[in-house]
Amino acid sequence: MGPTWKRPTKQGTNPLLSMDGMIQAITFDNGRADFRNRWVRTPKYLLEEKHQRGMFAWTDGGFHDWRDFAYGDVERDQYNRHVPQGVSNINVFPFAGHMVVSGEQGGAPIAIDPITLDTKGIVDWSPALSPGLHEPVVFGDCAFAAHPKWDHDTGVLYGWTYGILAVRHPAHHLSDGRVDSRELWDAPYNTVAHDIWLTPEWIVMPFQPFTVSKERIAKGLGIWGWETDLRSRWR
């Protein structure tokens, strides 16, 4: 699973989180191995497939080079105003009878057929998740971790979100498609919460001075920052 070039953005660049996801697999049957790769047909992909061109531009500092990561907001118009910008291009994992692909805080997880790799659609539990870095444009346009963790004893899947509000880092517990959430309103700052740790008693989320803020884009900076005056913390 990974980001793959399909067509350029309206800016003419191909930032990491503007690239469509492509999933690859080898299937085995009666001694035969078959390789398949398929595009993940997100709402963004389907809109651009319909028009045969890039339909999205991102507010990402105006660099128009490798620094445009597509973490910023989409410039909305009459074509894309109700189309989620998520690309689901980072990870694939099994859950609740499906293979699920997820992106880096950019959109709802997508269910994939594990054999044909055909896209089934946005998972039915996405409306119970929390928004990521962007305001939802349709019902269920929420976010989930690209690197979730399992409790091997219970089968529960743990994910999380870092998003719009600096003090809000929802942690999601998923079991058989049911989502239970706890929002960390006491988070010290809006870190790039890329990973967590599980212990028998605790979910540990590290907060390091690698921060994310869309306000930085308005200043002509990248969305990420390294703030040396902040202390590393754990929640």
- Mean pLDDT of successive 10-residue stretches along the chain, which has 235 residues: 91 87 93 95 96 91 76 92 93 86 86 93 89 88 87 84 56 66 79 86 88 84 88 87
Instruction: Look at residue 1 in the predicted model and tell me its pLDDT.
Output: 92
Helix H or strand E segment including 39? strand 32-39
Structure tokens at 4: 């793959």
Check: pTM over 0.75? Answer yes or no: yes
Instruction: Look at residue 11 in the predicted model and tell me its pLDDT.
Output: 87
Instruction: Look at residue 118 in the predicted model and tell me its pLDDT.
Output: 95
Instruction: Look at residue 164 in the predicted model and tell me its pLDDT.
Output: 58
The three-state (H, E, C) secondary structure of 172-190, written as one string: EEEECCEEEEEECCCCCCC
Helices in the chain by DSSP H: which ranges?
A: 43-51, 215-218
Instruction: Look at residue 45 in the predicted model and tell me its pLDDT.
Output: 96
- Decide if 162 contacts 193 (C-beta within 8 A): yes
